[in-house]
């Protein structure tokens, strides 16, 4: 079984983006073939999210319509990934973005 490095955003960073009772949990999985960002935001729907990539930076912004609850995460992506190779997955407040690594 191949080992994976998992880096969890410290609670200090979670508090920094805290806004109107809303926060999210973010983790990163970096293994040999891919880099994965997993975000858990209960109560948010897929259409609440806006993702952008610029200069190896992934910006995730989400705002719940009608409540004003929102958060933003900026994640520096490794230089070893192909940003165009991203795939997205969303289900019940869990959002995952996967990037393949350059060979």
Q: What is the CATH number of the domain that holds 38?
A: 2.60.40.790
Percent of the chain with pLDDT over 70: 76
> 39, 43, 2: which is closest to 22 by C-alpha?
43
Q: What is the pLDDT of residues 51-73, one digit of tens each?
A: 888 888 888 888 888 888 888 88
6 belongs to a structural domain: no
Q: What is the pLDDT of residues 10-26, one digit of tens each?
A: 333 333 344 444 556 88
Domain boundaries, position 83: 27-101
**Burial of 32 (C-beta count, 10 Å sphere; 0-12/13-18/19+):** exposed
How many domains does the chain divide into? 1
73 belongs to a structural domain: yes
The pTM of the whole model exceeds 0.95 = no
């Amino acid at each position: 079984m191949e080992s994976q490095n998992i880096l969890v955003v410290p609670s200090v960073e979670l508090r920094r983006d805290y806004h109107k009772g809303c926060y999210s949990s973010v983790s990163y999985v970096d293994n040999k073939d891919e880099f994965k960002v997993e975000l858990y935001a209960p109560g948010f729907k897929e259409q609440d999210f806006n993702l952008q990539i610029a200069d190896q930076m992934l910006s995730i912004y989400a705002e719940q319509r009608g409540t004003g609850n929102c958060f933003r995460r900026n994640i520096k992506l490794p230089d070893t990934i192909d940003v165009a190779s991203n795939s997205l997955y969303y289900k019940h407040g869990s959002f995952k973005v996967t990037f393949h690594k350059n060979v």
